[in-house]
Every structure is written in structure tokens, then in C-alpha cells.
Amino acid sequence: MFQQKKPEQALRVEEVPSHIAIIMDGNGRWAEKRGMSRSEGHKKGIETIVQVVESASEASVEQLTLYAFSTENWKRPKSEVETILRLPVEFLKTYLPRLMAENVRLHVIGDIRPLPVYTRQALKYAIDRTKNNDGLQLNFALNYGSRNEMVEAVKELYREVQEGKLSLSELNEEHLSKHLYTSGLEDPDLLIRTGGEKRLSNFLLWQLAYTEFWFSDVLWPDFSNQDFASALEDFGKRKRRYGAV
Ligand code: IPE
Ligand code: IPE
Ligand code: MG
């Protein structure tokens, strides 16, 4: 007989991905559909971030990595880039107390050096304030690009070899991993991309080697707790083999 799965079974702790990465896509289209500016879509997207952080935290997810600004997003109109790079400031001004209350620790991956001073200052402050929290770790990928990340890692490894700190014959996957922005983080178990596109857009190319993918047509500002729960439920049904049988 077909037995219906109880809802709590879908969220059994051992089935919850410990690291979820999300490509938060669709803010612009969400706004355009409503005759609003793309920037309004990005602002609305913050509300989804807050919801998802809360849900992930409740589900005992350990790491949540959110793609917020790619190295390619500089190609957008100046005013849109400026809005996006101000979002961390607005987000943290409003929600830092909530992150503290939820015991969330903030971290950033990407090359933040070219970001405006106000963005870097807000992040630095929040990273410092949340550094002793031991709940969910929230990683914002800002000015993040996977290919650039790998080139930088190769340059650092080359220097180590040149200085005699590392021999070429010893160089292995672990060494490369340690030189990526994600050093110290486990690879994501689940990747979610909203907004209908089915591509990686230069996100975590190395780290997603064995990650489970889950795509949704829902635009990021409309992405609900229910959608997030569906992703987790689907993840719970996957069989990960890592090349074995
Ligand atoms: C994703 O939404 C957010 C960023 C890239 C910063 P988009 O702005 O790409 O939204 P669409 O894809 O144009 O709808
Ligand atoms: C990926 O979305 C980047 C972020 C979500 C930050 P994009 O909208 O930039 O990706 P493409 O251009 O559609 O590939
Ligand atoms: Mg997009």
C-alpha cells in the first residue's frame, strides 16, 4: 500500500543540507512586471533574504551562502550597481539586531576591495558584531566570481612553490580549496537558483562539484517559505553517490 509521508519526515535533521547556496535571481524582472524600477526589485529581495535566513536557521542549516553581486554585475547601469552595493548597508541597518537575536554569524566571500567604502564598513561592523555567534553562518557572495577566485588561488600557490613553501609534486585539491574564498567552509550540499535560469553564472564552480541542484521559476522577491521547504523536501529524496554505486 502507498503510504503517505508524514510532513515531519521531510525535515528530519539528518536529511537537512548543512550548507545551502542560493543564486537569488529575478529581482529585476519582478520589478519590471510591476512597472517599477529594477532597484525596487532589489530592495524587495531583501525581505526574502530575511525570511530565508530565518527558515534556514529554524531548519538547523549550518551554512547559507547567498550570491548577491557577481564580478560580471559591474556591467549593469551605474545606478543599479550603486543600489545593489547599498543594499548591505540598508539590510544591516534594519536587520542586524534580528541577526544577533537569531545567533547568526556573518561572513563575506569575494573580492570586497573594489566595493565602496560604505559597503565595506557596514560589512566589517556586522562581521565583527556577529563573530561570537554560533548559529547559522550567513555568507554573502559580493563581487564574487568563481574564475577570478581560482586564478587568484593559482597565483598564491605559484608564489608558495616559488618560495619553496610547497612542492609541485605535493600540490593537491586540498591546497587549492584552502586558497579559495570558501576556505574552511564545507562544499554546499544544495544549490537553489530562483528566477527560471538554469545556469551557474560563475558561482562556486569548484565547490559545486557534487552539490544537488534545485531550480525554481519563482522570482526571488516572490520566493516563499513554502518554496524553501519544497527545496529541502526534494533534497531529502536525493541519493548522493559521489561516483560510487
Ligand atoms: C538578481 O536579480 C540579483 C542580482 C544579480 C544582484 P536580477 O537583477 O538579475 O534580476 P533579473 O534576472 O534581471 O530578473
Ligand atoms: C547571477 O545572476 C548573479 C547573482 C544572483 C548575484 P545574474 O542575473 O547576474 O546572471 P545571468 O546574467 O542571468 O547569468
Ligand atoms: Mg538575473
Pocket around ligand 1 at a 6 A CB cut-off: 24-29, 69, 73, 84, 195
pTM of the model: 0.94
Cβ–ligand 2 contact at 202 (below 6 Å): no
Give the pairing type, strands 137-144 and 19-23.
Answer: unpaired
Break the chain into its structural domains and give their ranges.
Answer: 17-145+187-236
The residue whose CB lies within 8 Å of the most ligand 2 atoms, and thus the one to mutate among 22, 24, 25, is 25
Closest Cα to atom 8, ligand 2: which residue?
Answer: 25
C-alpha neighbours within 13 Å on the C-beta side of residue 138: 28
Query: For residue 14, what pLDDT is reported?
Result: 55
From the CB of residue 128, how many other CB atoms can be counted at a distance below 10 Å? Answer: 10
The string of pLDDT tens digits covering residues 84-104 is 999 999 999 999 999 999 999
The string of pLDDT tens digits covering residues 21-78 is 999 999 999 999 999 999 999 999 999 999 999 999 999 999 999 999 999 999 999 9
What are the DSSP E strand ranges found in the chain? 19-23, 63-70, 105-109, 137-144, 190-193, 212-215
The string of pLDDT tens digits covering residues 154-209 is 999 999 999 999 999 999 999 999 999 999 999 999 999 999 999 999 999 999 99
**pLDDT above 50 for 10:** no
Please tell me what DSSP assigns to residue 205.
T
* Span from the CA of 146 to the centroid of ligand 2 (angstroms): 13
pLDDT bracket for residue 111 (50, 70, 90): very high
The string of pLDDT tens digits covering residues 127-163 is 999 999 999 999 999 999 999 999 999 999 999 999 9
The residue whose CB lies within 8 Å of the most ligand 1 atoms, and thus the one to mutate among 29, 52, 82, is 29
**pLDDT above 50 for 4:** no
* Span from the CA of 162 to the centroid of ligand 2 (angstroms): 37
pLDDT bracket for residue 7 (50, 70, 90): very low
Q: What percent of the chain has pLDDT over 90?
A: 94
Query: For residue 15, what pLDDT is reported?
Result: 87
Cβ–ligand 2 contact at 68 (below 6 Å): yes
Q: For residues 88 and 182, give the distance between their C-alpha atoms in angstroms, rounded to a whole number.
A: 20
For 17-145+187-236, CATH number?
Answer: 3.40.1180.10
Which residues does the annotation mark as catalytic?
25, 73
Ligand 2 atom closest to 24 (CA): 5
